[in-house]
Amino acid sequence: MFSTDWSKGCMNVTVQTTFVINEIIADFGSETLCSADGKTIALRPQTFAALRYLVLNANRLVTKDEIIEAVWRGTSVTDDSLVQCIHEIRRAFNDDQHNVLQTVTRRGYRFILPERHGPAQASEPSIAVLPFTNMGDSSGHDEFAIGLVEEIITNLSKIHGMLVIAYDTFEVHNNGTMDLRRVAAELGVRYLLAGSVRRSGDHIRVNGQLIDGASAAHIWAGKFDGDINDIFDFQDRFAEYVTGVIEPSIRRAEIERARLKPPHNLSAYDLYLRALPLVLSNSLSETGKALQLLNASLQLDPEYMPAHGYAAWCHEQHYFRNGFDPADKLAALKHATVALGVHCENPQALSIAAFVRANLTRNYDDAIEVLDRALALNCNSPLTLGFSSLVSAHSERHERAVEHAMKALRLSPLNDPLNYHPYCALALTNLFAGRFKEAANYAGMTIQANPGFTVAYVYQVASHVNSGNLQAAEAAARRLLEIDPNFSIEAFARMDLFREPLMEGITMALGKTILSASKSDR
C-alpha cells in the first residue's frame, strides 16, 4: 500500500499510490484521477503537481511558499496561480465544505488523508442458515428439516470468502417469531437464509428465502418440489439448487451495498464490487473503467485474488477488441498467473484466470485442469460452471460443455448477468455440431442476457447463414455493426479461438453478410 517515493525536493517519505476520497480515486502511479464510475477527471499539470505535494505532506500544515516552490520551482508566479490550483483540487474531490483540503488562514493548507494501518482487508459476506420451519403435522419432518439445513450449510461453506454460521450456533432463535434484524445483528452476519417444509402425502415442498440482515428485505425467494420417497436425493438436489442461487444473488446484493457505502471508507473489496458490473457487461467501453477500480483495489490489497482474476479478464477483452496491444496480453497473463498460483483456493479467480489464459495461449488442456480444480472447491458455482462450459466449447469438448452449461443455467437465477456464458457455450456447441437452428436460438438467448456482447452476434450470423436464413443473418450483422461500428472480419479471425476449419467457417459466413449489412446502413 505504501510503495512509491516522490520525495524529490520534498520530505523523504513514501505515500500510498492510490486512495479514495468522496468517491474519487486518485492513482499517483498512473497520474490519474477518476470518479467511482470510471470517468476521468482532468487536472492541469500544475494542479496535479500541487495535489501530489499536498498528499506527500498530508495531515500537516503546508505553507503557500512551500507549494509554489515545489510546483513552479523558482519561476515567479502570483498567489492567484496557487489559488486556482486549490480551487481545481477541491472541485475534483467535490470538497465544497473544505473538509478534504483545509485552508489555514494566512498560513497555508492542510490535506486530510485518513491514516491506514496495514493493508486493507476485503470484508466479504457472511450468512446464517436458520432452522427450516416444519409446516406439517408430523414431528418426523423436524429431522428432515434439520438434515436439509445441514446439507445446505455444507454446500454454502464451499463458497470461498463467505462465512457460514453453523446450525447449533443459533438454534435458540427458533421460537417461531423472530426479529430477523436482531438475529442477524446478534450473529454478526449480513444475510440470513430461512425456509419452511410442507408435506402432502408423498409430495414435499420446500420454500426458501434469502434475507438482508440489516433491512429484513427479501433478496431471493423460491420453492422446490419433489418426492419424499428418496429423502437423501431430495436433500442433495435442494441444497445444490439453493447454493447455486445464493452465490449470484449475494453478489448482486453486495454490489448494491458497495454502491451505497459511504465513499470515505471504501475497502479493496468494495472497489472490486464496484468494478464487477462494468466487467460483466463484457463491453469494451466499460473495461477501462473497471480496470481503474480493480487497480485501486489491488493497491489496497495486492493479494486479493478475485481482483486479479477480473483484471486479467479486462485486459484480455482489451487485447482482443482494441487492437491486439501486446501490453494488454502481457498484463492479462500476469494477473492470470497470480490468480493461478498454487496457494489460490478461490474458485472464481481460478476459473476466470483459466479462461483468460486458454483464450490467449490456446492451451485448453491446462485450463480444463484448473477448472476441474475450481469445481472440486465448489461444484455448484454457476460462475465456474459457465466459464468451464465456454472453455469446453472452445476446445470442442461438446458433452462437457453442454453438461456444465445446463447445470449453470439450472442453478443460476434468471437475472444473473453471467448467464450469457452458458448460453454462448450452447450456441457454439450446436454451431460446431451442425445444428444451426439451435445454435441461432442459443445465440439469441446470449444476446438477450447481454445485448452488448458482440461475439454473440457473430455466432448468430454464422448460424443463420449456415441454416440458409440470409435475411436473419443480415439483420444480425447490422445489429453487430450498430453495437461495434469498428468490427472487422480480419480482427475476429485474428482472435484464433478455435481450430482453423471452424474459424474459417465463421469468417466465411461473416463475409457473406457484413459487407451487404454495412452497405445497407449507408
Got the DSSP string for 125-169?
Answer: -EEEEPPPEE-SS-THHHHHHHHHHHHHHHHHTTSTT-EEE-GGG
* pLDDT value of position 125: 87
Provide the percentage of residues in the chain whose pLDDT is more than 90. 44
The 10s digit of each residue's pLDDT in 258-270 is 887 766 667 888 8
Q: In one letter, which amino acid is 370?
A: V
C-alpha angle 500-504-508 in degrees, rounded to nearest 5: 180
> Which run of H or E residues covers position 19?
strand 18-21
Task: Tell me what pLDDT residue 18 has.
Answer: 56
Q: CB of 352 within 8 A of CB of 312?
A: yes
Query: Smallest Cα–Cα separation from 301: which of 330, 261, 272, 333?
Result: 272
- The pLDDT, as a whole number, for residue 263 is 63
Measured CA to CA in angstroms, residue 355 lies from 304, 343, 348, 350, 377 at distances of: 18, 19, 11, 9, 17
pLDDT for the residue 273: 92
Q: Contact, 383 vs 348, CB < 8 A? A: yes
Question: For the residues 220-244, what does the mean pLDDT come to?
Answer: 85
Highest mean pLDDT among 45-59, 212-226, 373-387: 373-387
CA distance 43 to 446: 41
**Predicted local distance difference test score (pLDDT) of residue 6:** 32
126 compared with 438, residue with greater pLDDT:
438
Mean pLDDT of all residues belonging to the chain: 84
What pLDDT does residue 5 have?
32
DSSP-derived secondary structure letter, 218: E
State what percent of residues in the chain have pLDDT above 70. Answer: 86
Identify the CA nearest to 313 among candidates 356, 371, 272: 356
Which distant-in-sequence residues (6+ apart) come within 8 Å of 3 by Cβ?
14, 16, 17
* Residue 307: Cβ within 10 Å count: 29
pLDDT given for residue 1 in this prediction:
26
Q: Bigger pLDDT: 279 or 162?
A: 279
Q: Predicted confidence band at 112 (pLDDT cuts at 50, 70, 90)?
A: confident
CB atoms near residue 247 (< 10 Å): 25
Residue pLDDT, tens place only, 73-96: 778 888 889 999 999 999 998 888
d(CA 175, CA 321): 57
11 band by pLDDT with thresholds 50, 70 and 90: very low
Question: Which is nearest to 359 in space by CA: 295, 313, 293?
Answer: 313
Write out pLDDT tens, residues 339-390.
998 678 899 999 999 999 999 999 999 999 999 999 998 998 999 999 999 9
Comparing 109 with 145, which gets the higher pLDDT? Answer: 109
This prediction's pTM: 0.73
What pLDDT, on the 0 to 100 scale, is given for residue 119? Answer: 41
The pLDDT value given to residue 181: 81
Joined grid coordinates for residue 375: 469445481
Strand blocks (E) in 324-451: none
User: What H or E segment, with its residue span, contains residue 206?
Assistant: strand 203-212
Contacts 24+ apart (CB under 8 A), 488-494: 489/514, 491/321, 491/324, 492/458, 494/324
Return the pLDDT at 521. Answer: 54
| Percentage helix, strand, coil for the chain under 3-state DSSP, each rounded to 5 | 55, 15, 30
Q: What is the pLDDT of residues 403-417, one digit of tens each?
A: 999 999 998 877 788
| pLDDT recorded at residue 424 | 97
Pick the closest to residue 191 from 238, 148, 242, 240 (CA basis).
242
CA distance 357 to 89: 41
310 phi and psi angles, rounded to 5 deg = -70, -35
Residue-wise pLDDT tens digits, 425-451: 999 999 999 999 999 999 999 999 999
**Are the C-beta atoms of residues 480 and 487 closer than 8 Å to each other?**
yes
Higher pLDDT, 326 or 230: 326
- Phi and psi at residue 130, to the nearest 5°: -75, 155
Cβ-contact 244, 208 below 8 angstroms: no
Instruction: Tell me the per-residue pLDDT of 285-336, one tens digit each, with 9 for 90 and over.
Output: 889 899 999 999 999 889 899 999 999 999 999 999 888 999 999 999 999 9
- CA distances, 447 to each of 142, 384, 454, 468 (Å): 45, 20, 8, 21
Whether the per-residue pLDDT at 211 is higher than 80: the answer is yes
Average pLDDT for 1-21: 40
User: Given this model, what pLDDT does residue 337 score?
Assistant: 95
Strands 218-227 and 2-5: unpaired
In this prediction, residue 42 carries a pLDDT of 83
| Inter-residue contact 365 to 399 (CB < 8 Å) | no
